[in-house]
Amino acid sequence: MNYNRRSTISVAIGNTPLGSHFPIRVQSMTNTSTNDIDASVAQCHRLALAGADYVRLTAQGVREAENIGVIRSRLRSLGCNVPLVADIHFNPKAAFAAARVTDKVRINPGNFVDAARTFKHLSYSDEEYNLELKRIHDALVPFIALCREHGTAVRLGVNHGSLSDRIMSRYGDTPAGMVESAMEFLRVFVAEDFLNVVISIKASNTVVMVETVRRLVRAMDAEDMHFPLHLGVTEAGDGEDGRIKSAVGIGTLLAEGVGDTIRVSLSEEPEFEIPVARRLVDYITARAGHKPIAGGLCKGYDPVCPQRRASSEVAASVGGRLRPIVIADVAPSALLGKMRPDFFFAADGCPSGNTTDRFIVPFALYNGAACESPLFSLAELHALLDCPAPLKWLVVPDDVPVSALEPLRNDCHTVLIVKPTNINVPAGEQALLHALTDAGLSLPAIIKNTYPDTDDEWLQVKAGADFGTLLLNGFHDGIWLSAPNFIDADRLVRYELGILQASRLRMSKTEFISCPGCGRTLYDLQATVKRVKEATSHLSHLKIGIMGCIVNGPGEMADADYGYVGAAAGKISLYKNKECVERNIPEAEAIPRLIALIKAGGDWHDPQ
């Protein structure tokens, strides 16, 4: 429960070493082609000035990789010493070229040795599979030797969207397959005594991403490996959605002490990623040395793949297997948009004339109206026990003794509202919920966190990280985001619902799975994301992928209903699930044909 960084070895990356002995580093990636030296130098310089500890550039071929060395020399002449990382897919020759001129080379186990995946099932005998592993060994050994010679670090980057057919055929498109994809390569690095290695293992689905990182840590521990980890949620999107989704996934792991460098991947200018990442790191690491939290995990709890906490269903409204609820302390009249919470907290009593919304009111103002349910403090527990309301709420601090709640053991009408008392917000709340489970108290529990912030991005980061940790760890009854200084009621409710959607627990709007773009992107990604959103954002039941290229596109869109993927300069391919149904469409025709594809699939309705 208490915050401590996971202990790792140190990795030398230029002049900025990485690992648990050093601060958590933040990084970004350029969206320029390395063939455009001037643009790449300028963007790398801007990122360094914005606070990036590392800058990554994609290199499709040998020429593009060699150009990173030119870019690095130009930056050094400007007095900019930010380490540069070459991002390699499909082309081992480019990796060898990059190893001579960069500070770190990222290779992808899904396509460094194996052929690009085609989603075909392949069959291997054990002997044949071992021959494939030997092929990996033989390809890696000379690469390792070159990296050793030039003092170049390696990032082993596994993406959910680019697992090889070989891995998927044996392990499935699963966290276990992603972990094995990394471990196959790590075993070669360890056998060759080359430990200047960082690992990333990413997905656009936060649940998959978090489980996979946890499984990887467990697998490395079992084999006495302690490599540092890079964290990120791929294709997180833009705006508030990208920030919240990143905070949910990355923040959950940082809260556990896992993660040594992070990237917040946004479909925006790369410089915008850095302050978000910095805020997330600063918010979590401020917990270091917090007041110790007593307690532990409840019996039978699996911290790698948590199941939903068992709670009783109350008044057909909260708990049990019902979807998580949202409570907001805003007035219904303040909401202009379509998104509404399940309950409003009305501190001054239920407004007259409102017959469609449900309200939580202080017990002192409760008059038994059908739209009302009373809220009690712990000091009012006896009044709660005597109250005949079918739905009651009890506010408790997260350090309340479980024995104080014993009178509610057989209560089937009360929901707890849990408030934090520790700077380590999610840890204290989880400690109470684990203790309740061990005590056999199955009261539903809503997490209420209050933030003083008026800044959107701070609120998105803090709430995403704190609520996301609870939600991804199996505490699903509901959330209450309170921000008394934040004046936009619509955005506040949107953030709550966005956190639940990012946690894959409740869908309330169209989900756009969009990549941040890089030098491989052959169209204006940011403008295209905006246009696709304008055309389809009313389809709140759909997930739509918008990808710059085919490296991760079809794989990361495994979760999406429809996909828009860059195929070549000015050409787009359209997908339904993983299947490419239209190839190389002129970009000018792509959005109308995407709409036609959605209509043909029976998933379209006109905006209301």
pLDDT of residue 87: 95
Tell me what pLDDT residue 547 has. 83
Residue 166 has, within 13 A of its CA and on its CB side, a CA count of: 22
Of the listed ranges 321-325, 546-550, 581-585, the one predicted with least confidence: 546-550
Answer yes or no: are the C-beta atoms of 276 and 266 closer than 8 Å.
yes
Query: How many whole angstroms separate alpha carbon 264 and alpha carbon 460?
Result: 13
What's the confidence (pLDDT) of residue 570? 84
Q: How much is the average pLDDT of 165-169? A: 86
Q: Quick check: 333 pLDDT over 80?
A: yes
- Which helix (H) or strand (E) covers residue 573, if one does? strand 571-576
Contact predicate 470/430, CB 8 Å: yes
Look at residue 257 and tell me whether its pLDDT is greater than 70: yes
- Please check whether residue 16 is in contact with residue 252, taking contact to mean a CB–CB distance below 8 angstroms: no
CA dihedral 11, 13, 15, 19 (to 10 degrees): -30
pLDDT tens readout for residues 503-543 = 999 999 888 888 777 776 767 888 888 899 999 999 988 88
Q: Check residue 185 and give its pLDDT.
A: 95
Which position has the token pair 């429960």? 1
What whole-number percentage of the chain has pLDDT above 90?
75
User: Facing residues of 265 across strands?
Assistant: none
Cα separation values, 232 from 121, 277, 387, Å: 29, 10, 48
- The model's confidence at residue 383, banded by pLDDT at 50, 70 and 90, is very high
**How far, in Å, are 264, 265, 468, 501 from residue 245 at the CA level?**
9, 10, 9, 8
Indicate the pairing of strand 571-576 with strand 84-87: unpaired
Question: Which position has the higher pLDDT, 344 or 337?
Answer: 344
The percentage of residues in the chain with a pLDDT greater than 70, rounded to a whole number, is: 97
Residue 269, Cβ density class (10 Å: 0-12 exposed, 13-18 middle, ≥19 buried): middle
Q: What is the pLDDT of residue 123?
A: 83
25-285 and 325-502 share one fold: yes
Instruction: Please tell me the CATH code under which domain 325-502 is placed.
Output: 3.20.20
CB atoms closer than 10 angstroms to residue 226: 14
Three-class SS state of 465:
helix
> Are the C-beta atoms of 26 and 51 separated by less than 8 Å?
yes
pLDDT at residue 171, as a whole number: 86
| Residue 15 CB-density burial (10 A; 0-12 exposed, 13-18 middle, 19+ buried) | exposed
Phi, psi of 358 (to 5 degrees): -110, 140
Inform me whether the pLDDT recorded for 373 exceeds 90.
Answer: yes
Residue 51 predicted with pLDDT over 70 = yes
Q: Which helix (H) or strand (E) holds 152?
A: none
Strands 511-514 and 478-482, by their bridges, are unpaired
Residue-level pLDDT at 555:
59
pTM, entire model: 0.93
Q: Is the pLDDT of residue 558 over 80?
A: no
pLDDT, position 364: 96
The residues spanned by each domain of the chain are 25-285, 325-502, 511-600
The DSSP symbol for 299 reads T
Check whether 550 has a pLDDT greater than 70. Answer: no
Enumerate long-range contacts of 345-352, CB under 8 Å, 24 or more apart.
345/375, 345/480
The phi, psi pair for 393, rounded to 5°, reads: -125, 135
**What gap in Å lies between CA 370 and CA 305, rounded to an integer?**
40
Tokens linked to 347: 């501190």
The CB density around residue 307, as the number of other CB atoms within 10 Å, is 11
What's the fold here for domain 511-600?
Sulfite Reductase Hemoprotein; domain 1 (3.30.413)
The per-type count for the chain, helices as H runs and strands as E runs, is 16, 21
pLDDT at 553 over 60: no
Quote helix, strand, coil % in the chain, to nearest 5: 40, 20, 40
**Are 540 and 556 spatial neighbours (Cβ–Cβ below 8 Å)?**
no
- The reported pLDDT for the residue numbered 85 is 98
Which CATH class for the 25-285 domain? alpha beta
Q: From CA 547, how far away is CA 533, in angstroms rounded? A: 13
Q: What is the mean pLDDT of the chain?
A: 93
> In this structure, what token pair is assigned to residue 1?
């429960």
pLDDT, tens digit (0-9, with 9 covering 90-100), for 206-235 = 999 999 999 999 999 999 999 999 999 987
* Predicted local distance difference test score (pLDDT) of residue 554: 60
pLDDT number for residue 443: 97
For 472-509, the pLDDT digits (tens) are 999 999 999 999 999 899 999 999 999 999 999 999 98
For the four alpha carbons of 521, 524, 530 and 536, in that order, the dihedral sign comes to negative
Helices marked H in 387-524: 425-438, 456-472, 489-502
As a whole number of angstroms, the distance between CA 12 and CA 4 comes to 22
Give the pLDDT band (50/70/90) at residue 568: confident
Residue 314 CB contacts under 8 Å (≥ 6 apart), including other chains: 391, 412, 413, 414, 415, 444
Q: 162: closest CA among 176, 171, 173? A: 173
pLDDT per residue over 111-143, tens digit each?
A: 888 766 666 777 888 888 889 899 999 999 999
pLDDT at 552: 55
Q: How far is CA 368 from the centre of its chain?
A: 42
Among residues 136, 126, 58, which one has the least CA distance to residue 98?
Answer: 58
Q: Residue 165: pLDDT above 60? A: yes
